[in-house]
Amino acid sequence: MGKVITVAQQKGGAGKTTLAVTLAVSFVQRGLRVALLDSDPQGSLGRWFMTRVERNGSADLEFSTASAWGVGYECKKLRQTHDIVIVDTPPKVDSDLRPALREADLVLIPVAGSHVDLWATDGVLDLVARESTRALIVMNRMTTGTRLAEEVALAAGDVAQVAESRLANRVAFAQTLGQGLSAVEGRGPAAAECRALAAEVLAVLEE
């Protein structure tokens, strides 16, 4: 039975889709069977997937969409044939998000390097607690070496578990996304960050 990872954050621009893509491709590189489930009407994950298929000529992972009420059904179905199912959700916190949280073995909450982003986790963490699900905050789009970034990371540790691995604010993430790729498929620090985060997330899932 596969594991479900739900990526949730009520603030737009936190990098949910980038995080979903980063982990999906990183897991595929590890030989895992991965499915992506997009429940965000904006459809960014779907556009990325179609761009990837057109580029490669075939799909190395599965893609599906579902509205809020259909997430549970799709997750149960995809679990049967995949090691990991990653659910990308809309930037909001309401009853529509609950099915994606209910199915999750782990909820990832991306937080960019500002206190506003951190404050936006309150609603998600509240719903996570109600569904008795585990949450992991991922520091994303971080400006490394700044005092603000460290302040936010420290404050995040007061509200939930925070991943030790961080994704910095690098051009490679946005650039590869538009090409149907992931930064982990390149070289340099961005790829190393992707691999480190993927390894940490898998370790948390196995706890």
Place of tokens 């951190």: 118
| Gap between the Cα atoms of 202 and 123, Å rounded | 25
What is the pLDDT at residue 151? 78
* Sequence ranges of the domains in the chain: 3-205
Residues of the chain with pLDDT under 50: none
| Gap between the Cα atoms of 103 and 105, Å rounded | 7
Other CB atoms closer than 10 Å to residue 190's CB: what's the count? 22
Torsion of CA 69, 75, 76, 80, to 10 degrees: 160
Residue 138 carries which side chain, given as an amino acid letter? V
Written as six digits, the tokens of 52 are 């990837």
What is the pLDDT at residue 145? 65
Residue 166 carries which side chain, given as an amino acid letter? R
Helix (H) / strand (E) element for 155: namely helix 147-156
What is the pLDDT at residue 195? 97
| Gap between the Cα atoms of 167 and 144, Å rounded | 9
pTM for the full model?
A: 0.93
Instruction: Look at the domain 3-205 and name its fold.
Output: Rossmann fold (3.40.50)
At residue 65, the 3 state secondary structure works out as strand
Residues 6+ apart with CB under 8 A from 190: 167, 168, 170, 172, 173, 183, 184
